[in-house]
Amino acid sequence: MPVEVIVGAQWGDEGKGKIVDLLSEHVDVVARYQGGANAGHTVVIGQKKYILHLIPSGILHENTICVIGNGVVIDPQALLEEVEMLNGQGIDVEGRLFISHRAHLIMPYHKLLDRIKEESHTELKIGTTGRGIGPAYVDKASRTGIRIVDLLDRQTLHEKLEMNIRQKNQILSKIYDATELNADEMIEDYIEFGQKIQPFIADTSQLLNEAIRRQKRVLCEGAQGTLLDLDFGTYPYVTSSNPVSGGASTGLGIGPNRIDTITGVIKAYTTRVGEGPFPTEFDPETAEQMREWGQEFGATTGRPRRCGWFDAVVARFAVQINGIDRWALTKLDVLDRLEEIKICVGYQYEGKKLESFPASLLQMNSVEPIYESYPGWLTPTSHITRFEDLPENAQNYVRAIEELTDTPVEIISVGSRRRATIFR
């Protein structure tokens, strides 16, 4: 049962898009299991750059089937725009893209509520992308959500939308003093969306389990990263779903005993977008320099990412939560210019070393990182394709990460291009 899960091991933006693209060449199916259209996966092929938000980057391989599972919340307009973009680039998705009929929809009122809440002075500012993902998951959990399957039944869609819009208009007008939404216009728009995406709709759980039964190679990918997980991340500065490996089972409808390998994608330093604790964050000057070298700007929003030293505490926690078998280490080349490189090996709180990753936001905001320093290599690495050819100090840095996390580094990315990769 060759099923592999790819999971982000930090706060997202670890470079999963490239790793999924690389591994997709050797698999039959790539399946996305959670998140929404805020996940910007960037893949560089030759001189072309592809930024994908909903469709797995495996779509760039002509023989790979791509699945968007029931755990994903789907903005149909964003999905159709992405399909159109791919078709315009000569990449045919017909017969290769399948969307779960159980996946929930992002509606215009979700996006409106997301933006209003983020801008409100009375709400906690999380730093969302304003794509409506959180509110869509709220409706899913409160059992008022609208699913892909509802698009196929005009009467059901009409009834659900009328009820939801009536409720949302009460919130918009009475709490946020915002303009109410028009139900009739929205119903017509979504009926049209349903007609356009109908060819892609399928029972994807059945599709995936049949593929697994036939010994097809399946790659499962999530959005964001472990520290943004709703249950295990730095709550409340998290996403609204479960990016951890366990989310692959619930988000795709496959049993956990079907999963063979879990690959963690981790950056050679650490970044995060939005609000929330970040123990190893650089000072502003160093952060600006790293952003420039690493092009650390959100693929979806363009927002600058916060940057810091590699955090082995976060990495060990990710191994614990996900059951990570191996690392794909990205952006090692960004460290090429540094004379000294630090790794956070532990946290200290009120004079005592913490034995586990803290759940308390107060502790996370107050911990002092315990650092170990490593000499840099001051040599370009983006042309290197064998581990033995890396500078000795770069090899030692990679081995330090392996020892500190008790997990082997089997893939090393030294640039955005496909061929800028070392396989061990």
Report how far apart, in Å, the C-alpha atoms of 114 and of each of 260, 295, 355 are. Answer: 37, 27, 37
CB 93 within 8 A of CB 69: no
Among residues 21, 41, 139, 333, the one annotated as catalytic is 41
Which position has the token pair 């770069």? 394
Q: How far is CA 131 from CA 65, 73, 75, in A?
A: 26, 10, 9
Gap between the terminal Cα atoms of the chain: 23
In 10 A of CB 277, how many CB atoms?
Answer: 18
**Among 60, 66, 54, which Cα is nearest to 28's?**
66
Q: Would residue 13 show up in a list of annotated catalytic residues for this protein? A: yes
Contact 18, 413 (CB under 8 A): yes
Query: CA gyration radius for the chain?
Result: 22
- The phi, psi pair for 105, rounded to 5°, reads -95, 145
In a 3-state reduction of DSSP, which class is residue 311? strand
Q: Which of 13, 229, 311, 333 is catalytic?
A: 13
For residue 139, CA distances in Å to 79, 257, 285 come to: 20, 30, 42
**Residue 152 per-residue DSSP state:** G
41 is an active site residue: yes
Sign of CA dihedral 228, 259, 15, 93: negative
The answer to whether the Cα torsion of 226, 232, 234, 236 is positive or negative is positive
Catalytic residues: 13, 41
